[in-house]
Every structure is written in structure tokens, then in C-alpha cells.
Structure 1
Amino acid sequence: MTDTRVAPTLVVGLGCQRGCPVSTLRALLDQALQAHQIELHQIKALASIDLKRDEPGLIELAAQLGLPIMFFSSEQLARYQPQLSHHSQIAFERTGCYGVAESAALALAELRAQAPVKLLITRQKYAQATLALAGPA
């Protein structure tokens, strides 16, 4: 019997230090997807905090992958605090939210799914970047 269910909408949330190279972001993404046996084509969009709207590495990664990238304010991200696996005081001091990657992934997944979502990959850290992946609950 073939499985005809539609693949879930998966989105990646990213946080990074200023000037983080696209190669670092791509290495983190590839490593996380491989570890969780998720295909790149299953990722439908990227997300981050609006403070990173002009971050070259994030913009270049979205362009390389041919994916949209959406940015959220710290106020929009703050409401996801109870769902975070990790609360970073440093992230809060710098951005106003306790976890950019996880919050951004949850915010965009919820927006796209119009249904409850959850973290499918909790915060992964690599060099100057963090990544999380969210999708339907």
C-alpha cells in the first residue's frame, strides 16, 4: 500500500552571530538534516529574528537553497518561550527573546501550517550559528 499523505511543512529557524559565513550555516543545516534523516527538499522555508534581516549569510543561504526566508520581531518570538528546549540569557540580552532559532522555527511553522506545531529538531549549535526545525505537531 502506498502512503499518499502529504509531506509535512518543515521550516528551519536560524540564529547566528554577525558575519557568520554561509558555509557555516549550510554545514549546520546539512549536519542536522543528515542526523535526523530529513531530506533537504522537505524544508519549505527559513526563519530568523528581524535583527538579522540584513545578515549576508542568511540571505545567501536562502538564495542558494531557493527558499523564502521570513523574519520575526522579538515580541512575536517571545510568545514561544514556554516551548523552547533551551533558554539563553545571552540571546535574551541581545535580542529580547530566549532562543532565536527555536522561536523562529515555531513561529513560521505555525504561520504556514495554521495548526499546532512542535520542534522536530531542538536547538543545534555549530560554530557561530544555531538551528532548529519545526513542523506539524
Structure 2
Amino acid sequence: MTHASTAQTLVVGLGCQRGCPVSTLRALLDQALQAHQIEFHQIKALASIDLKRDEPGLIALAKQLELPIVYFSSEQLAGYHGQLSHHSDIAFERTGCYGIAESAALALAEQLADAPAKLLISRQKYAQATLALACAA
């Protein structure tokens, strides 16, 4: 199996605290993509939990990057529990999901590619935000 990155569906999952500035999210994304030598144009979409639907920083980031952002319910994300690199009890208490960034990235990559997804970048935390990158072939 060849790993042609063009054939892969790359999705960024994001979690953040209320009021997290778009600059923080962007810095985290830039840093993660640079570290893994992934280019912006390879990213197909952003994902988060539906509780963050009105989060200005996430909406602004999606606009900046001209990418769609898709939100999932905690029920939809709960199914990815076994694939997470990190389980946050605080996140679970607040949202019913143990890891928003990783679960959302996996859920969306899988949905877009209609194929199983795996984490390419496991949970990265920076200031008030978390990020993960999932890919599906």
C-alpha cells in the first residue's frame, strides 16, 4: 500500500475553552502542521463537538482557512473512545466525551472518506485549545 498523501482525507479536530481566541487555535494548528510537514491545502475540513457550534474562535478559524467545520454530538464521538491516545475525565464530565479533538477528527475523516480513520497527530494541547489530526485513506 502506498501512502500518497493526496489520496488521504486529512481532518483537524479541535477542542477549546470558551472564548479561546482564533490566534491561539491558529498558532496550535500552524505548529502541529509544521512539526509533521503537512501543508494547509491537504486539510479537507475541521471538526469539533456540537457544544462548540457557537464558539467564535472556531468559526473564525474555519473562515480564515476557508474550510468547512463539522460538529458532532457527544453520542457520535463516544464511539471513538477506544482509539483515543488521551482520556480526559474533565472533558467527559463536561461533554460526555473523553477527547473532543481526537474523536471529532476521527469521526469526520471516517465520514468524509467512508473508510476507517486513524490519528496522524494525537492530541496536542496549547493554552486553551486541543488539536488532533486524523486521516482516512
Question: Shorter-chain-normalised TM-score: which range?
Answer: over 0.9
1:54 aligns with 2:34: no
The answer for the alignment partner of 2:96 in structure 1 is 96
Contact 1:10 1:133 in 2 (8 A): yes
Q: Which amino acid aligns with 1:11?
A: V
Q: In percent, how many aligned pairs have the same letter?
A: 83
Instruction: Normalising by structure 2, report the TM-score.
Output: 0.95
Q: What stretches of structure 1 move > 6 A for 4+ residues in a row?
A: none
Contact 2:6 2:42 in 1 (8 A): no
The answer for the alignment partner of 2:43 in structure 1 is 43
Distance 1:41 1:94, change over 3 A: same
Whole-Å separation in 2 of the counterparts to 1:118 and 1:39: 18
Give the C-alpha shift of residue 8 in structure 1. Answer: 1.1
Unaligned runs of 5+ in 1: none
Which aligned pairs between 1:74-113 and structure 2 lie closer than 5 A? Answer: 74-113=74-113
**How many residue pairs end up in the alignment?**
135
Whole-Å separation in 1 of the counterparts to 2:103 and 2:12: 10
Contact 1:9 1:109 in 2 (8 A): yes
Q: Which amino acid aligns with 1:13?
A: G
Whole-Å separation in 2 of the counterparts to 1:15 and 1:26: 12
Whole-Å separation in 2 of the counterparts to 1:51 and 1:71: 8
The answer for the alignment partner of 2:12 in structure 1 is 12
Give the C-alpha shift of residue 5 in structure 1. Answer: 7.4
SS at match of 2:86: coil
SS at match of 1:47: strand
Unaligned runs of 5+ in 2: none
Give the C-alpha shift of residue 4 in structure 1. Answer: 7.7
Q: CA RMSD in A?
A: 1.4
The answer for the alignment partner of 2:32 in structure 1 is 32
Contact 1:7 1:42 in 2 (8 A): no
Whole-Å separation in 1 of the counterparts to 2:46 and 2:30: 14
